[in-house]
Amino acid sequence: MTDGVVQLKVPAIRQLYHWDCGLACSRMVLKYLHPVSEEEFQNACWELKLTESVWTIDLAYLMSHLGVRHQFCTQTLGVDKGYRNQSFYKKHFDTEEDRVNELFNKAESNGVVVKKRSVTMQDIQNHLAQGHVAIVLVNAVLLVCDLCSTPVKYCCFLPVGQKCFCRKPDYQGHFVVVCGFNLATNSVFYNNPAYSDRVCYTSVSNFEEARKSYGTDEDILFVYKES
SS3 of residue 123 by DSSP: helix
d(CA 66, CA 89): 28
Contact 115, 104 (CB under 8 A): no
What would the mean pLDDT of 165-173 be, rounded to a whole number?
68
Tell me: pLDDT of 164 over 70.
no
Q: Which amino acid is at 191?
A: N
Q: Binning pLDDT at 50, 70 and 90, where does residue 35 land?
A: confident
Tens digit of each residue's pLDDT (9 = 90 or more) over 4-19:
999 999 999 999 888 8
List own/partner pairs for 49-52 with CB under 8 A and 24 or more apart.
50/23, 52/17, 52/19, 52/92
Predicted confidence (pLDDT) at residue 171 exceeds the cutoff of 90: no
- Which has more pLDDT, 145 or 70? 70
| pLDDT at position 187 | 96
- The Cα–Cα gap between 141 and 149 comes to 16
Helix (H, G, I), strand (E, B) or coil at 19: coil
Q: How far apart are alpha carbons 42 and 143 in whole angstroms?
A: 30
Q: What is the pLDDT of residues 135-152, one digit of tens each?
A: 999 998 899 888 876 655
- The closest alpha carbon to 119, from 130, 135, 143, 142, belongs to 135
What's residue 94's pLDDT?
78
Q: From CA 112, how far away is CA 114, in angstroms rounded?
A: 6
pLDDT for residue 161 is more than 60: no
Please give the domain boundaries of the chain with CATH numbers for all domains.
5-223 (3.90.70.10)
26-41 average pLDDT score: 92
Is the pLDDT higher at 83 or at 205? 205
Q: Determine what percent of the chain is predicted with pLDDT higher than 70.
A: 89
pTM of the model: 0.90
Q: How confident is the model at residue 222 (pLDDT cuts 50, 70, 90)?
A: very high
Res. 84 pLDDT band, cuts 50 70 90: confident
Q: Would you say 23 and 45 are in contact if contact means Cβ atoms under 8 Å apart?
A: yes
Task: Kindly give, in sequence order, each residue whose CB lies less than 8 Å from that of residue 167, ignoring residues fewer than 6 positions away.
Answer: none
Distance, CA of 218 to CA of 224 (rounded, Å): 19
